[in-house]
Amino acid sequence: MADYDVLIVGGGPVGATVALTLRDAGLGLGLLEARAPQEARSDPRPIALSHGSRLILERLAVWERLQPATPIRRIHVSQRGGFGRVMLDADEARLPALGYVVDYGRLATTLAGALEAQGGCHTVQATVTALEGGADAARASFEAGRGPAQRTARLIAVADGGTLAAARMHVRDYRQAVVTARVACEAPHRNVAYERFTPEGPLALLPTGDLLALVWTTTPERAQQLCELPDAVFLERLQNAFGGRLGAFSGAGPRSQFPLALRIARRVTEPRIVALGNAAQTLHPVAGQGLNLGLRDAWELGESVRNSPLDDVGSAAHLGSYRARRRLDRGGGIGFTDSLVRLFSNDIAPLRLARGLGLAALGAAPPARDFVVRRMIFGSRG
Question: Sorting pLDDT into bands at 50, 70 and 90, what band is 145?
Answer: confident
Q: Around Cβ 16, how many Cβ atoms within 10 Å? A: 31
Mean pLDDT score across all residues of the chain: 92
- Structure confidence at residue 352 (pLDDT): 74
Whether a cis peptide bond, with omega within 30° of 0, leads into 68 is: yes
Rounded to whole angstroms, the Cα distance separating 120 from 138 reads: 21
Q: Is 140 left (phi over 0), alpha (psi -120 to 50) or beta?
A: beta
Residue 161 structural domain: 4-70+99-169+261-344
For the segment 151-178, the average pLDDT, to the nearest whole number, is 90
Sign, CA dihedral 304-105-216-206, equals positive
Looking up residue 332, the CATH number of its domain turns out to be: 3.50.50.60
Evaluate whether residue 356 is within a structural domain.
no
Question: Sorting pLDDT into bands at 50, 70 and 90, what band is 382?
Answer: low
The CA angle 287-293-296, to the nearest 5 degrees, is: 145
Evaluate whether residue 265 is within a structural domain.
yes
pTM (2 d.p.): 0.94
pLDDT surpassing 80 at residue 348: no
Cα atoms found within 13 Å of the Cα of residue 360, Cβ hemisphere only: 9
For the segment 251-264, the average pLDDT, to the nearest whole number, is 94
For the segment 239-251, the average pLDDT, to the nearest whole number, is 93
Amino acid at 214: L
Q: Is 61 left (phi over 0), alpha (psi -120 to 50) or beta?
A: left
Rounded to whole angstroms, the Cα distance separating 47 from 59 reads: 20
Residues in CB range of 59: below 8 A, 6 or more apart: 299
For the segment 258-273, the average pLDDT, to the nearest whole number, is 95
- Which residues are 179's β-sheet partners? 216, 257
Amino acid at 93: A
Question: Sorting pLDDT into bands at 50, 70 and 90, what band is 381?
Answer: low
| In contact, 64 and 114? CB cutoff 8 Å | no
pLDDT tens figures, 93-104: 999 999 999 999
Evaluate whether residue 298 is within a structural domain.
yes
| In contact, 313 and 30? CB cutoff 8 Å | no
Evaluate whether residue 184 is within a structural domain.
no
Rounded to whole angstroms, the Cα distance separating 172 from 154 reads: 33
For the segment 4-9, the average pLDDT, to the nearest whole number, is 98
Q: Packing angle between helix 366-378 and helix 349-363, nearest 10 degrees?
A: 100
How many H helices and E strands in the chain?
11, 20
Evaluate whether residue 26 is within a structural domain.
yes
- Structure confidence at residue 166 (pLDDT): 73
- Structure confidence at residue 79 (pLDDT): 87
**Integer CA distances (angstroms), 342 to 63, 164, 200, in order:** 35, 28, 11
pLDDT tens figures, 13-55: 999 999 999 999 999 999 999 987 667 677 778 999 999 999 9
Evaluate whether residue 200 is within a structural domain.
no
**Integer CA distances (angstroms), 253 to 15, 65, 234, 352, in order:** 30, 25, 11, 33
Evaluate whether residue 224 is within a structural domain.
no
- Structure confidence at residue 127 (pLDDT): 94
pLDDT tens figures, 99-125: 999 999 999 999 999 999 988 899 999
Evaluate whether residue 76 is within a structural domain.
no
Question: For residue 332, what is the DSSP state?
Answer: H
**Percent of the chain residues topping a pLDDT of 70:** 97
pLDDT surpassing 70 at residue 278: yes
Helix or strand (DSSP H, E) at 246: none
pLDDT tens figures, 183-237: 999 999 999 999 998 889 899 999 999 999 999 999 999 999 999 999 999 999 9
pLDDT surpassing 70 at residue 294: yes
The CA angle 331-337-341, to the nearest 5 degrees, is: 140
Give the total number of structural domains in the chain. 1
| In contact, 159 and 171? CB cutoff 8 Å | no
